[in-house]
Amino acid sequence: MKILVTGGCGFIGSNFIRYLLKSNPNDSVINVDKLTYAGNLENLSDLSHSPHYHFIRADITEASQMEEWIGKGVDAIVNFAAESHVDRSIEDPSAFMKTNVFGTFVLLEAVRKVLPRQRVRFIHISTDEVYGSLGETGAFTEETPLAPNSPYSASKTAADLLVRAYHRTYGLPALITRCSNNFGPFQFPEKLIPLMISNAIEGKELPIYGDGMHVRDWIYVEDHCRALDIVLHHGKEGEVYNIGGRSEKPNLIVAQTILDRLEKPHSLLRFVSDRPGHDRRYAIDFSKIEKELGWSPSVSFEEGISRTVEWYQTHQGWWRKIKTGEYLDYYNRLYKNR
């Protein structure tokens, strides 16, 4: 297969490209990425000389560029390209609407224009945040009503509905995946786990929103990539597949676990004011993909955290360059006076 991956220099996208080419050595990948703050060419530097990998710096909102590359004969598109940090969406929602909503529209239009001459399978990578917040029990299924609570999750919801509409209206061979919180190598250090790890290594305080009891279902990124590979090759068009890690953890427990792995004191924890619209709990029911496609997570939270902590310890040059650049200014602005 010839696969166009959008946002492939980001955290999940870069891990997916590496996993895909390792698992399917006859496939080829075109990676389209705008290289915004979270897109990093270093994430895939080991593939720079591979004949099966080609990088293009481009913006998915530029219709002419997307139509050109899609029209050249790709078999599938895996759309990771998105602005993804909730705090950033609260500060400035405009970029989220442009990339997440309009960018998805541009890609869908480009695929529609090559139909029926060229059949392009479209895999849209979404998030469990489109479902909103859960109480103390229950889990999101693919039938749970969409109820986003932040500008980020609202933009992803809008994109999901566009994908659904293009499948129903134009017959686009499209699928949607909604995954729980990922963690692992190459995750940008504004996200919870890499922020906690890098701060702990540096002996800095670990900021915890509210009471720290906001619960997330965590999945190691390699498990997510394996699920996406299966959906890409075997998923049923028009369907939504939830992907989860079966590892519900409050944020406070996650931070404490990281401190324990690094043998750092819990006194580094610092509770800060909660953010607006902070969903209390997410949990994913992934029984559909488990039953229909035979996927289930294989890496436990504890094993995944050990691997992730080790990676950030041995790749300090990667994240230190990020934290001393644009991210540092953002970090200071975000947490000052809290």
**Is residue 336 included in any domain, yes or no?**
no
| Active-site residue (options: 129, 190, 223, 290) | 129
Provide the token pair at 140.
């999101």
What's the total number of domains in the chain?
A: 1
Residues 6+ apart with CB under 8 A from 61: 98, 99, 102, 103, 106
**Is residue 290 included in any domain, yes or no?**
no
| Active-site residue (options: 53, 131, 152, 327) | 152
Phi-psi region at 186: left, alpha or beta (left = phi > 0; alpha = psi -120 to 50): left
**Is residue 314 included in any domain, yes or no?**
no
CATH number, position 61 = 3.40.50.720
Pick from 21, 230, 11, 118: nearest CA to 3: 21
Q: Is 152 tagged catalytic?
A: yes
Domain assignment of residue 62, given as a range: 2-183+220-243
Give 161-197 pLDDT, tens digit per residue: 999 999 999 999 999 999 999 999 999 988 999 999 9
Question: Distance between CA atoms of 108 and 98, rounded to whole angstroms?
Answer: 14
Per-residue pLDDT in tens (0 to 9) along the chain, 338 residues: 999 999 999 999 999 999 999 999 999 999 999 998 888 899 999 998 999 999 999 999 999 999 999 998 999 999 999 998 888 899 999 999 999 999 999 999 999 999 999 999 999 999 999 999 999 899 999 999 999 999 999 999 999 999 999 999 999 999 999 999 999 999 998 899 999 999 999 999 999 999 999 999 999 999 999 999 999 999 999 999 999 999 999 999 999 999 999 999 999 999 999 988 899 999 999 999 999 999 999 999 999 999 999 999 999 999 998 887 654 454 455 444 43
**Is residue 125 included in any domain, yes or no?**
yes
**Is residue 316 included in any domain, yes or no?**
no
Provide the token pair at 270.
């610092």
Q: Is 131 tagged catalytic?
A: no
Cα 131 → chain centroid: 16
pLDDT of residue 333: 54
**Is residue 229 included in any domain, yes or no?**
yes
**Is residue 74 included in any domain, yes or no?**
yes
pLDDT of residue 335: 45
| Active-site residue (options: 27, 33, 83, 128) | 128
Residues 209, 278: contact at Cβ < 8 Å? yes
pLDDT of residue 277: 82
Q: pTM for this one?
A: 0.93
**Is residue 283 included in any domain, yes or no?**
no
Q: Is 37 tagged catalytic?
A: no
pLDDT of residue 316: 95
